[in-house]
Amino acid sequence: MKFNKTQLPDKILFNECEYIFLDFDGVIKDSIEVKSNAFFKLFEKFGHHIASKVRNHHKNNGGLSRFEKLPIYLCWAGKEPTEKLISEYCIKFSKLVKKDVIESNWVPGVLDFIIENNKKSSFFLVTATPQDEIEEIMIELNIMTYFVDVIGAPTKKIDAVKKILKQYSISPNNSIMIGDSDADFYAANDNCVSFILRRTKYNKDLQKELNCPKIYNFM
């Protein structure tokens, strides 16, 4: 693992960490902008102000699933967030983003990081992307086989990490989570898992708030 010694705990520096939890958007793929723009397009018919408000909220709350965000956005648009309407907008959003997410840039160094450390560490993906969609994306990217398990929405990240720790009899002391949002931090912190923040232009406030190791990339 090629990290700066000043950035990371010794257990990570010396490859003693057996279990690695990764977020997807902003950690594996630089796809936050793709999804932000898709949310804007989805709500553009309700006016520029609403669409911009939706886009900005998404950028600042990347760790929340669309199942949690869409009821808020539909209310802003003056629509009653019924289960049927939320489902319709989820489908529309998925059609807007899937191809662009797959084609978006990899976070620098992350693919080599996963491949090089796959035999000595077990990788788990915890994401706010819907389960079926993230599995399809991972298969398209040819990285599904590098992960022991992949858990997406509607399971919340806190519950996903808890489930994995229990199911695979993993000690939090031998684990780390790398994420880019407060939802990632809380998922790790509430389960006593060490956390590393991947710095992006969207989480500058979080960078100031969190007293934890931080990285820009995996190189």
Each residue's pLDDT expressed in tens, for the chain with a length of 219 residues: 343 333 444 334 435 689 999 999 999 999 999 999 999 999 999 999 999 999 999 888 877 888 889 999 999 999 999 999 999 999 999 999 999 999 999 999 999 999 999 989 999 999 999 999 999 999 999 999 999 999 999 999 999 999 999 999 999 999 999 999 999 999 999 999 999 999 999 999 999 999 999 999 988
Q: Which residues pair with residue 134 across a beta bridge?
A: none
d(C-alpha 140, C-alpha 162), whole Å: 27
Which of helix, strand or coil describes residue 207?
Answer: helix
Amino acid at 21: F
E runs forming strands in the chain: 19-22, 122-130, 147-153, 175-179, 194-198, 214-215
d(C-alpha 54, C-alpha 61), whole Å: 11
Burial 97-109 (b: 16+ CB within 10 A, else e): bbeebeebebbeb
Residue-level pLDDT at 16: 62
User: Model-level pTM?
Assistant: 0.87
208 φ/ψ angles, rounded to the nearest 5 degrees: -75, -35
Q: Which residues pair with residue 29 across a beta bridge?
A: 25, 106
Angle at CA of residue 155, ends 52 and 70, nearest 5°: 25
- Extract the tokens encoding 96: 């807007």
